[in-house]
Structure 1
Amino acid sequence: MQIIIVGCGKVGSALAAKLSNEDHNVTVIDTNAERLNHLTDLYDVMGICGNGTDYQILERADIQNADILIAVTYSDEVNLLCCVLAKRASACRTIARVRNPIYSTGRDYIRRELGLAMTINPEHAAAREIVRLLRFPTAIGINSFSKGHIEMFRFRVPDHSPLIGQAIKDAKILQTDGLICIAERGDDIVIPDGNYVVQKNDKLSVILSPQNALKFISDVGLKTDAVRNTMIIGCGEMGYYLAKMLLNMGIKVKIIERSRERCEILAEHLHKAQIICGDGSDEDLLREEGLEEMDSLVACTGIDEENIILSLYAKNKIRQKVVTKMSRLEFNDVIRSLDLDSVINPKTITTETILQYVRAMANSYDSNVETLYKIMDDRVEALEFAIHRNSSITHVPFEDLHFKKNTLVAGIYRKNRLIIPDGQSYFVPGDSVIVVTTNTGFDEIGDILETKVRS
């Protein structure tokens, strides 16, 4: 597809890198020539220096033939205007990053009236992700497939789990409730087979249905207690959205915010929250405000280093869950070595959400990938494929198919039911299929086989 990206900040740069690597024709527009040159030197993209609201700049980017325009500058208004101009000039689809809370209540109206394919608010999306993690505090991360009917649940094996010392093929709980599809031990990541023996502190990812999640969590020795209260340290826009969602769920919220002006605004809009004006990095203040009595803590100040220190300090004091907000996309190896509980990056969530839309759009052209997650620092891909009527690998038992190395069919969603596959399983038209692999570049279901067949 022909894609135009307006804005080469962290999100725009990440999108340009990933989309160009997926063989799309990418043109990037930015007013910063230095940033633009750096991006075009690194990736196979075309760069145009200028303002995306300038119609002549859009013409130079060949807007008339573009399939999609993505506006992710730092200005909501610039993003929206870029999309309006693009829609007037062509039949392309448009995506705008819109961050200001003033637009939040009318976001659907704006999207509909301006003809946008999508608007995304990074802070709101990150807050939703944190709520999902607090729903299952023992999860490190949760990815969703088949419109929420299937989840990939990532967790650390606890000390007394019945899984410890067992080969996956011998673990009774895994015969029906879920399938382990990724195993992490130290820096090693594998797509495990049935002979993989689980050890304490392994990080495992399992495919299961949301209905089976609580039972599975309990059976593998993880705590299932619901979060009853949360402490939020630093309450910018993400913290505000998070607090509002949690209060609506009946969860008690305590906010520690350094800015008195910000506290007054929060008090005006979050009547049920307890708001403390103070320094969230002050150990005495945290002790006075009952840190050790809290079920969960979300460190979301505007400084990554402060969030990391707060999270490490609170890790052994908070009862169930510590979530760390990160803004930078760099130093993934360092962050992973710190062994934080769960890390949320609004920019990464924004990038992945936009990529999912683009990939779904590409599906109508030359791919049957419905959803794609690049996880574990892009070392693993989790894909969802749609099985079409003309696929030549339907009704063939898996035991007769030769899957590529390090590739696992982790689940089949058929007629509102999750099927954990075995050797007798097979694909039928209409299936949604979850594939986990350390390979890259799969476009259609036939790519998972050693010998490519038409799919």
Structure 2
Amino acid sequence: MKTIIIGGGRTGKELAARLPDSVIIEKNPEKREKLEGLEGVEVVIGDGCDEELLKRVGLKDAGTFISVTGDDDVNYRAAAIAKRYGVPRIIVRVEDPEDRARFQDLGVDYVMFPTKMMANLIVDLMHPRKDDIDVPFKKILVPILDDNTVKRAFKEALLVASVARAEITVISSPDIERETMELPAREMGVSLRILKEDERLRDIIKRHLHYRGCIIIERVKEHLYYPDCIIIDQEELGFMDRLLGRSIVLKLIKCASRPVLVARTFRYYEQILAILDSSAVSESVGRYSLLLAHLCDASLHLLILENIPEVVEWIKRSGEKANVEIIENWVEGNPMIEVVREVKSGKYQLAVIPWKGTGVIRADLIKRIINCAPCSVLTVV
């Protein structure tokens, strides 16, 4: 399907060169000559916020709308028009990270922050990472993928991977177009590997699903693939569900020896809830929560169910060093009631909980959280 690009600067030109059957709209007529050298690209000089112009170039039939001008207001107005016409995928460039809320409220699918990406890159160059302690994940697996998952779990995987600079591996059914995954991954600077579903792969998954940590065998190299995190859509009924005859969300969480993120938010994390009890896993909950809050510029809310002053003080000290706002909430009533109430409050985009431990958070409470939470849930082992 056609791709419409607003903005003929360096970014827009590079995009158009890589995307066949695209239209690029540029306001400055002096850039026409450079843009017209792009093979298979229609160049239109005009205002990308002109609704009539957008209709003439095929907005109603566009599969992707990308606005990458250096003006956030222009990108917003252009994206709003595309949203009204029901373009399936909208990607925008936003210069000011403080401006992201209005783009998210508009319902933009993917928001890119070049200033934040550049700042992260420079910091990485100045302070090279020596180990995994500075990033929550390096390898993310999305094991169930169909048209709905592209819009849900895969989208959230891209958001997490873009801030953590992680690689994504997906299992895709044969009827899914690679472009629906490759384009947004490329635009967000995320490394993507696609494994197509086939009978042999299904047999391997079925045989190894029960093994601790052995979620998928990478079929080319014939050895186990160990992701740092698995991101799954709870509403998804993909080929693994059909294979096993029931939902595998809780089964994946139980079998995996690594974090599993049940995706529901599909937007940047602004407020993260960390649920802490007396189990040793709470330290890992604090670590993952801090790293994600730091990378996403989010505030971190601690829901503390038991007397764990050492863990809380460590999180607060680490949060101060990472410039993360920490809000404490010590629970005095019934932990199960208070946890469910807080999770269901709608204030958070992500809740982080321990999966295995000796504290008050047990399997039945975890199931309730996963089933009732309006936000995404990250389980930590």
Same-fold call, TM cutoff 0.5? no
Larger radius of gyration: 1
Higher helix proportion (structure 1 or 2): 2
Normalised-by-shorter TM-score class: 0.3 to 0.5
TM-score (norm 1): 0.35
Q: Report the TM-score, using the length of structure 2 for normalisation.
A: 0.40
